[in-house]
Amino acid sequence: MVAPAPAVSTGQPTSRFPVMSGFSAMLGRARPVRWHLWLAAIGLLGLAVRLFYLFHWLHPAVVEGDPYYYHEAANLFAAGRGWPDPYELALSGRYVPDAQHPPLTSGLLAVPSVLGFTSFLSHQLFSCLLGVLSIVLVALAGRRIAGPVTGLVAAGIAAVYPGMWLNDPLLMSETTGILTCAWIILAAYRFRDRRTVADAAWLGAALAAVMLARAELALLAVVLVVPLVATARELAWRRRIALVAVAAAVSALTIAPWTIYNLSRFSEPEYLSTGLGSTLAVTHCPASYSGRYVGWWSFDCILALPPSPQERSERDVFYRRAAYDYIKHNERSLPRVAAARLGRTWGVYRPWQQARLDTIERRPLLLSQVGMVTLWPLEIAALAGVVVLRRRRVVLLPLLAVPIALSLASVAIYGTTRFRAAAEPAIVLLAAVAITAAARWLGRRVVARVPR
């Protein structure tokens, strides 16, 4: 016996709607079994897109920069060597404890490494599979937010939209950022619908995963989790406090092994990453505050500083202090620089220059440009989706929290296409809501004009 589809937040039937085409009719007849079959087909399409991208543009790969870090850290971890700096180990043979990036990306890539698949290509293929898993989570979130049709439309967009797959074969943390942000959106709506202790725990686990993927998204604790639970007016305050405590406890316990590990091996306290200082150091200096690359980053910032300590936590503190000192003496420039950073992240400030800058991270220029062009209509559709959900009185916070959090992080650090990646699931979901709402409206108009 087939289980019924889960209830959706709109409170309106969504499995059928008037049709204008054969495609609309197919979506309108979506049933649980057929829905999963269509999702499987869309997932295969998404995998095909990612594999074509990998083998047509990125193979064989030049392994350097952050992809090298994630790849080598995964293999070292799988081999039982802990978490050293893979660059230092390769260049000098010295084992230097490091946490330049949070561990989730390399931790997941260690799965194929444990099974003997240690090549860079193996990790690229596994990362593409993680991208397909993001499609599934986006579909499940869309179904819960606005019904099964919206879930399939969202999955279709996630399968082909470059913003969802450009980073997968590159081996970047944006893949896990997209995956975990899709998860936390789904977990947030599940909590909103049910408000049980188990759902609060699931939300806390998703928050921990997001932080272990992208450290700056720890902001979601105060932008999403606490407000979402605190505004559950149907619950007594004691119950709300208890649910916040459950989410916080699960999140803290999930992160604890990594944090304890870091506290045991660095001289300065480090909880998620030692990379904040170096990131701030390359984004707060004259080269990033003015000129052609305002709002971007530059290695000239670090080259202008005195030599840094070798111990990674001490280096982190050193670079942070240098950045804070520069900020203190250039406070008047902050609003202008912040606006440029935000514009770069959302593709509205010097977009073609940003696409060229993205090639530094091995993104093909043509695909970056296609991603930018497709982003703009999706952003407009996403704004329309906000209006639709507000009229339906669907809670918007889970969909708006990630864009808000990463925008705050971008303003504080620098503007880049990479930062926006975490918000792509929210953009896709909101756009899917608008597209399906428009299709239903047009369908009703067509049916109304048909002679009876």
d(C-alpha 298, C-alpha 343), whole Å: 18
Q: Do 151 and 32 contact (CB within 8 A), yes or no?
A: no
| Position 452 confidence tier, pLDDT thresholds 50, 70, 90 | low
Per-chain mean pLDDT for the chain: 91
CB 46 within 8 A of CB 135: yes
3-state helix, strand, coil split of the chain in percent (to 5) is 70, 0, 25
Q: What percent of the chain has pLDDT over 70?
A: 93
pLDDT at 19 over 50: no
Give the list of residues 6+ apart from residue 302 with CB closer than 8 angstroms, or none: 278, 281, 282, 308, 319
**SS3 assignment, position 97:** strand
How far separated are the first and last CA of the chain, in Å rounded?
38
The answer, yes or no, to whether residue 30 has pLDDT greater than 90, is: no
pTM: 0.91
Could you report the per-residue pLDDT of 230-276, keeping only the tens digit for each? 988 889 999 999 999 999 999 999 999 999 999 999 999 999 999 99
C-alpha 121 chain-centroid distance = 23
Residue 446's pLDDT is what? 81
Q: How confident is the model at residue 3 (pLDDT cuts 50, 70, 90)?
A: very low
What does the domain layout of the chain look like in residue ranges?
A: 30-449
What digits encode the pLDDT tens for the residues 66-101? 999 999 999 999 999 999 999 999 999 999 999 999
